[in-house]
């Protein structure tokens, strides 16, 4: 089992895109700064989508510029297309991820492209990245979304996921990640699909899982991923977020609960949980009345709790 993992905080993007209100820019900056100071080393700070579609993400360029001033922080942004990639590269993101839905119906609804069009877009973005000067090329990852099932189509054939993962790698991406966009995954399915995709594209090219806790299996699915060598897990502070284009797909894994579980198991995250718990005050203050979740924040840390050794 993996003994050290990276937790990628996706709340400022995946969390806020599902909240009707727009969090003030200064509150976003305070949130990101406080999480980095708690030891979170990778944060998805926004998405380069048209503000008309997601006004919550209208300040992403400014947020990226701010986050880039934080030493030791890997700054991630989601991109929907080539134009989004151009904007992300312009402001110097460290890593960018494009959602590639394994459900073609969801892909058309989410980004208005079928699978062939998405692969063409991915190839164009990979070529754009390759054109950048060495040392200024962002890490380009494809998130294989709805990989564990779709709220529109239902089950997605695993052979199709493997085929599309191979096609994405052939198009020039650095790696693929598996995303449980809809909260359908179970541990046996996680084990099976991680093994199949790793066998097809290489173990080094699948390192990330984006899991939801919609049906209460988020942390169980993390354990399954750990046992298959996954080293990066996405999570959202307070469990904010879901996919606005997948009805009923609420509930990212709660960052605080994930950190507690891993550290209690002796798996190093580099995150100071006591500091992380205090970050909730920033989010709650900026989004009054918005539900935020977490068992660990409610119960507190157990007597004698110690962080895992590096």
Catalytically active residues are 243
Give the 3-state secondary structure of residue 236. Answer: strand
Q: Is-contact 238 261, C-beta < 8 A? A: no
Rounded-to-integer distance, Cα 308 and Cα 310, Å: 6
Rounded-to-integer distance, Cα 18 and Cα 50, Å: 15
Question: Please, what is the Cα angle at 61 between 56 and 62, to 5 degrees?
Answer: 90
Q: Which of 151, 86, 78, 94 is nearest to 124 (CA)?
A: 86
Which phi and psi angles does 299 have, rounded to 5°? -85, -25
Judge residue 302's burial from the number of C-beta atoms within 10 Å of its C-beta, 0-12 exposed, 13-18 middle, 19 or more buried.
exposed
Helix boundaries (H) for 211-299: 218-227, 255-264, 273-286, 295-299
β-strand 232-235 against 206-210: which pairing, if any? parallel
Give the 3-state secondary structure of residue 82. Answer: helix
Question: Helix count (H) and strand count (E) of the chain?
Answer: 11, 8
Rounded-to-integer distance, Cα 143 and Cα 176, Å: 6
Rounded-to-integer distance, Cα 291 and Cα 304, Å: 30
């Amino acid at each position: 089992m993996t003994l050290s993992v990276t937790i990628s905080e996706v709340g400022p993007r995946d969390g806020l895109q599902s909240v009707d209100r727009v969090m003030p820019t200064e509150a976003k900056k305070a949130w990101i700064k406080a999480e980095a100071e708690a030891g979170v080393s990778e944060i998805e700070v926004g998405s380069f989508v048209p503000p008309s579609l997601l006004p919550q993400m209208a300040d992403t360029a400014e947020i990226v510029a701010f986050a880039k001033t934080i030493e030791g922080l890997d700054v991630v942004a989601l991109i929907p297309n080539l134009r989004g990639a151009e904007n992300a590269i312009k402001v110097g993101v460290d890593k960018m991820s494009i959602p590639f839905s394994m459900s073609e119906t969801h892909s058309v609804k989410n980004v208005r492209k079928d699978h062939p069009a998405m692969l063409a877009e991915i190839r164009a973005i990979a070529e754009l990245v390759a054109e950048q000067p060495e040392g200024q090329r962002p890490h380009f990852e494809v998130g294989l979304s709805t990989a564990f099932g779709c709220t529109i189509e239902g089950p997605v054939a695993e052979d199709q996921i493997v085929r599309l993962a191979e096609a994405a790698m052939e198009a020039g991406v650095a790696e693929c990640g598996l995303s449980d966009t809809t909260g359908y995954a179970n541990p046996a399915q996680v084990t099976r699909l991680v093994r199949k995709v790793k066998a097809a594209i290489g173990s080094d090219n699948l390192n990330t899982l984006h899991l939801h806790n919609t049906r209460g299996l988020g942390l169980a699915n993390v354990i399954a991923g750990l046992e298959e060598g996954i080293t990066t897990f996405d999570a959202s502070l307070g469990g904010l977020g879901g996919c606005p284009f997948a009805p009923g797909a609420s509930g990212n894994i709660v960052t605080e609960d994930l950190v507690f579980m891993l550290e209690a198991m002796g798996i190093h995250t580099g995150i100071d949980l006591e500091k992380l718990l205090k970050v909730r005050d920033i989010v709650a203050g900026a989004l009054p009345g918005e539900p935020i979740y977490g068992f660990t924040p409610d119960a507190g840390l157990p007597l004698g709790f110690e962080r895992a050794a590096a």
